[in-house]
Structure 1
């Protein structure tokens, strides 16, 4: 009996993930390391969401909002995000810089179990959204 050589199947080439265009959410740390209590600035400051500007021009973020599904709202002050740059919105208190802005509140903002965020332009146009569920890491990638 004659055996045919085994058939080799070519694996499909992995395609590179496309990166979302425009202004959008990136990494979201919804549950910072450690216990929530006692509540100090260290825990809320460990929670953040990154916003990426994947355009060729700088964007003025004044008036853009980030809102949670539970109704917490952050409105950007005058802030310019450079082309191809990222800004990290931290939940706790601190001094704003070119790469980090702070919500400047002491209370928690992001639910450890699940939730969603919406990014809205000053005219009311929704630019992006991100949802999460507890995953053992306390973080997710929104794009």
Structure 2
């Protein structure tokens, strides 16, 4: 019976993907990990390039482990290779950090790329999180201009 449940879930996911145009990576959180949880790729309102609009575009990363994880040197990239590199930073156990596109003052819960231009395409893109070694930790893709965000 378990195989039928998995097959039905896979078929439902394939159907939802084909209908909605949404593509995401398999969840990396099964055993506890650091993983992408959300990309808000189309900030509300018109894309006027203001810092408020840029900061409404963001990626959320969650640490679902039971200990803090140093993200020093980790990279968050998009398909066009725009890259945000974490400086000295530790993501607490069970905590989420939001990486905003625009400028701001870094805190434990909010980091800023300090970009003057949008990073995440409004139609499709892929976010990839890598360790300093270049090893891929997680990725999340979307292909849906009708929505403003994707849960990874």
TM-score band (shorter)?
0.7 to 0.9
Runs of 4+ in 1 over 3 A off after TM superposition: none
Q: Does 1:82 align with 2:92?
A: yes
TM-score (norm 1): 0.83
Superposed displacement of residue 80, structure 1: 0.8
* Partners of 1:47 and 1:35 in 2: CA distance: 12
Q: Specify every segment of 5 or more residues in structure 1 that has no aligned partner in the other structure, as ranges.
A: 1-11
Q: Does 1:35 align with 2:46?
A: yes
Which is richer in helix? 2
* Partners of 1:141 and 1:72 in 2: CA distance: 21
Q: Does 1:112 align with 2:122?
A: yes
Larger gyration radius, structure 1 or structure 2: 1
Q: Does 1:96 align with 2:106?
A: yes
Superposed displacement of residue 132, structure 1: 0.8
Superposed displacement of residue 133, structure 1: 1.7
Q: Pairwise mapping of residues 1-143 of structure 1 onto structure 2 (< 5 A)? A: 20=29, 21-37=32-48, 39-142=49-152
Mapped contact 2:68–2:93 kept (Cα < 8 A): yes
Give aligned pairs, total: 126
Say what the alpha-carbon RMSD is for the aligned residues.
1.7
Superposed displacement of residue 115, structure 1: 0.6
Mapped contact 2:28–2:35 kept (Cα < 8 A): no
Deviation digits for residues 7-59 of structure 1 (CA, Å, limit 9, x no counterpart)? xxxxx9xx9xx87130000011000101113x211111000010000111101
Which is richer in strand? 1
TM-score (norm 2): 0.78
Q: Specify every segment of 5 or more residues in structure 2 that has no aligned partner in the other structure, as ranges.
A: 10-26
